[in-house]
């Protein structure tokens, strides 16, 4: 039953049916926020270097092509689900030679090439929050979402019971 309730709440949040209106909801009785470590990696999907292997991309990256001035990157995973009040320790891996960034409401982190960057974030309120790379050539394609479930929707639990 727990999985079904959590899945239902996540579906409501994604659909926008359960909107907190920007208000912070009190923690559910018995829910103790936890610290979670989440690893996110930058991933190239369609970049200029691919033209050598996939010649049909030359027209796409050419002046006036659909990818003129752009490259398509992604975050993996592109969706992260936590509970309101949780602290997230992000391990952000950028194995590429391009600079990226990781931007959430109230947080912006530069991701230097071929480096691992650590950042912490507290999920202060429930909702669905977009994270993205703010490098202009990577927009609007490089984004993901942080889904923060309301603590009040979580069943009570004893400490250490996870």
Residue 118 counted as domain residue? yes
CATH for 26: 2.60.40.420
Residue 159 counted as domain residue? no
**Which domain does 72 fall in, by range?**
2-152
Question: Quick check: 2 pLDDT over 50?
Answer: no
Residue 114 counted as domain residue? yes
Question: Quick check: 26 pLDDT over 60?
Answer: no
HEC states along the chain?
CHHHHHHHHHHHHHHCCCCCCCCCCCCCCCCCCCEEEEEEEEEEEECHHHHHCCCCHHHHHCCCCCCCCCCEEEEECCEEEEECCCEEEEEEEECCCCCEEEEECCEEEEECCCEEEEEEEECCCCEEEEEECCCHHHCCCCEEEEEEECHHHCCCCCCCCC
Q: Give residue 71's pLDDT.
A: 87
Residue 70 counted as domain residue? yes
pLDDT band at 156 (very low <50, low <70, confident <90, very high): low
Residue 20 counted as domain residue? yes
Number of domains into which the chain is organized: 1
Residue 60 counted as domain residue? yes
pLDDT band at 17 (very low <50, low <70, confident <90, very high): very low
- For the stretch 54-100, pLDDT in tens is 999 999 999 999 999 888 999 999 999 999 999 999 999 999 999 99
Whole-model pTM: value is 0.74
Q: Give residue 15's pLDDT.
A: 36
Residue 140 counted as domain residue? yes
């Amino acid at each position: 039953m727990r999985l079904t309730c959590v899945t239902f709440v996540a579906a409501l949040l994604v659909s926008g049916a359960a909107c907190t209106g920007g208000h912070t909801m009190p923690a559910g009785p018995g829910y103790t926020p936890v610290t979670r470590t989440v690893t996110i990696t930058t991933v190239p999907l369609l970049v200029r270097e691919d033209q050598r292997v996939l010649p049909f991309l030359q027209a796409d990256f050419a002046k006036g092509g659909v990818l003129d001035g752009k490259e398509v990157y992604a975050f993996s995973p592109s969706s992260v689900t936590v509970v309101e009040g949780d602290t997230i320790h992000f391990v952000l891996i950028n194995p590429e030679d391009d600079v990226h960034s990781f931007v959430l409401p109230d947080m912006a982190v530069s991701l230097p090439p071929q480096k691992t960057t650590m950042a912490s974030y507290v999920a202060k309120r429930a909702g669905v929050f977009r994270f993205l790379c703010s490098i202009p050539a990577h927009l609007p394609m490089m984004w993901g979402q942080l889904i923060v479930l309301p603590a009040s929707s979580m069943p009570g639990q004893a400490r250490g019971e996870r």
